A and B are shown apart, each in its own frame.
Chain A
């Protein structure tokens, strides 16, 4: 079965045609780089997305801390992940890249801070 797919690996957004047997990738065409083929395979077999959101803070210089998943997570876990993020409050200063929640939801990825955030008392 052939169907069109747009690669989202980079802003070029290549229009591809993918051929699948329903659950596995058989062939792909139209991509301008190797990331397109890798994306197509992942998207057919187990679609993943990087989660980015922000978490509440208390006593820090900004009210929210932007965070991301250290690696893409299964697409169907995005909303469960958002629910879990709501339970987190960051109360200590962090550096960019600091782990806010390790092995988040048992998915084998960490939730990491995207920026440095100092104490609210400093500013």
Chain B
């Protein structure tokens, strides 16, 4: 089995920052695995501006932010990038297996950084009663369809949950000519950044219903309408407050779940509630030499902080390999 100093799983902002920082700390041999055909991860579908204000002191779009790192990674001879490569196994001895077109590869790593990001919570996790028609999408999936594939998910949409992805998609769909009829939020404040409430909803006259929930999705083959009801302080339905919104599309933006199945496979301790590694500080796991960074470690609001903390992960890996200076630990709660 081939040996590598450091294997990083995931070529998004976290994996790229970790790779570059590890190299800067003296790691000579980095293998960076990315399942897509390009580096950049989810930033590639985040075509809106707002990235990099801290790290680059400029307001970039997601692809621009990713591109700056991908250029640096591409120029670094000490980083081997393996695209279309999907990690399928990891054990405590840091033996990692991954699929790439035509081959199942196995590699023995001296250290591993997992930068695998998140997946979306789905309709089934809220849950919303009703039938199971076509037209219900996680908001991030709809984002990929619109921005990368050029498909519109529907004509009249209701968005469930006011996280940033939902707000960004409300604007995106509105710009594309979709009638966005409402954003429905169970809590009494939006979960997203206040600037996104302003520039994504208010700019386009999209109503935000706080303290409301979708109580039913109607439709046989395709979504036909949703029932919405107001809730009180204890999240109980307020009698007589229900109304219906006709629509053919429902986007669900109700949070992210860190992807840590590889870490779990390796036998590391996982927080069952948050699906994050159990560790005393950010980027660490319960297995020495195996690190987790970016959204796999905890869900971040801003990619700039993903970059900052993932650079720390790269330095921690270098330190574990006996290279570089020990970086200061960062409190996980920060």
Q: State whether A6 and B198 are in contact (beta carbons under 8 Å apart), knowing that A52-B49, A64-B148 are contacts in the complex.
A: yes
Chain B residues near A79 (CB, 8 Å)? 175
Interface string of A13-38 (1 = CB under 8 A from B): 10100000000000000000000000
B203 touches A6 (CB 8 A): no
Within 8 A of B (CB), among A23-65: 49-50, 52-54, 56, 61-64
B301 touches A11 (CB 8 A): yes
Chain B residues near A114 (CB, 8 Å)? 47, 61, 63-64, 67
Contacting residue for A82 out of B66, B176, B198, CB 8 A: B176
Chain B residues near A82 (CB, 8 Å)? 175-177
Most chain B CB atoms below 10 A, which of A52, A96, A116:
A52
Chain A residues near B50 (CB, 8 Å)? 11
Contacting residue for A8 out of B44, B146, B148, B195, CB 8 A: B195
* Interface assignment of B150: CB less than 8 Å from any CB of chain A: yes
* Interface assignment of A7: CB less than 8 Å from any CB of chain B: yes
B149 touches A63 (CB 8 A): yes
Q: How far is the CA of A64 from the CA of B149 in the complex (A)?
A: 6
Q: How far is the CA of A62 from the CA of B203 in the complex (A)?
A: 30
* Interface assignment of B147: CB less than 8 Å from any CB of chain A: yes
* Interface assignment of B302: CB less than 8 Å from any CB of chain A: yes
Residue contacts A-B, CB under 8 angstroms, 30 given: A6-B195, A6-B197, A8-B199, A10-B195, A11-B50, A11-B193, A11-B195, A13-B193, A13-B194, A15-B194, A49-B203, A52-B47, A52-B48, A52-B49, A54-B146, A54-B148, A56-B150, A63-B149, A63-B150, A66-B61, A66-B62, A68-B47, A68-B49, A68-B61, A82-B175, A96-B64, A114-B47, A115-B63, A115-B66, A116-B67
Closest to B301 in A: A11
Number of interface residues of B (CB under 8 A): 31
Chain A residues near B37 (CB, 8 Å)? 61, 123
Q: How far is the CA of A10 from the CA of B194 in the complex (A)?
A: 10
* Interface assignment of B72: CB less than 8 Å from any CB of chain A: no
Interface string of A70-109 (1 = CB under 8 A from B): 0000010011001000000000000010000000000000
Q: How far is the CA of A10 from the CA of B176 in the complex (A)?
A: 24
* Interface assignment of B53: CB less than 8 Å from any CB of chain A: yes
6 more CB-based (< 8 A) A-B contacts, given A11-B301, A52-B47, A115-B44? A10-B195, A54-B147, A62-B148, A66-B61, A78-B175, A82-B176
A10 touches B53 (CB 8 A): yes
Contacting residue for A53 out of B47, B53, B66, B301, CB 8 A: B47
Within 8 A of A (CB), among B143-188: 146-150, 175-177
Q: How far is the CA of A9 from the CA of B198 in the complex (A)?
A: 11
Chain B residues near A115 (CB, 8 Å)? 44, 63-64, 66-67
Rounded to whole Å, the gap between the CB of A109 and the closest CB of chain B is: 14
Q: How far is the CA of A49 from the CA of B301 in the complex (A)?
A: 22
Interface string of B191-210 (1 = CB under 8 A from A): 00111011100010000000
Rounded to whole Å, the gap between the CB of B173 and the closest CB of chain A is: 12
A13 touches B195 (CB 8 A): yes
Closest to A12 in B: B195
A66 touches B203 (CB 8 A): no
A50 touches B49 (CB 8 A): yes
Chain A residues near B176 (CB, 8 Å)? 53, 82
Interface string of B115-146 (1 = CB under 8 A from A): 00000000000000000000000000000001
Chain A residues near B59 (CB, 8 Å)? 50
Rounded to whole Å, the gap between the CB of A11 and the closest CB of chain B is: 5
Q: State whether A11 and B302 are in contact (beta carbons under 8 Å apart), knowing that A78-B175, A96-B64, A114-B64 are contacts in the complex.
A: yes
Most chain B CB atoms below 10 A, which of A7, A49, A61, A68:
A68
Q: How far is the CA of A52 from the CA of B46 in the complex (A)?
A: 10
Chain B residues near A52 (CB, 8 Å)? 47-49, 61
Rounded to whole Å, the gap between the CB of A77 and the closest CB of chain B is: 12
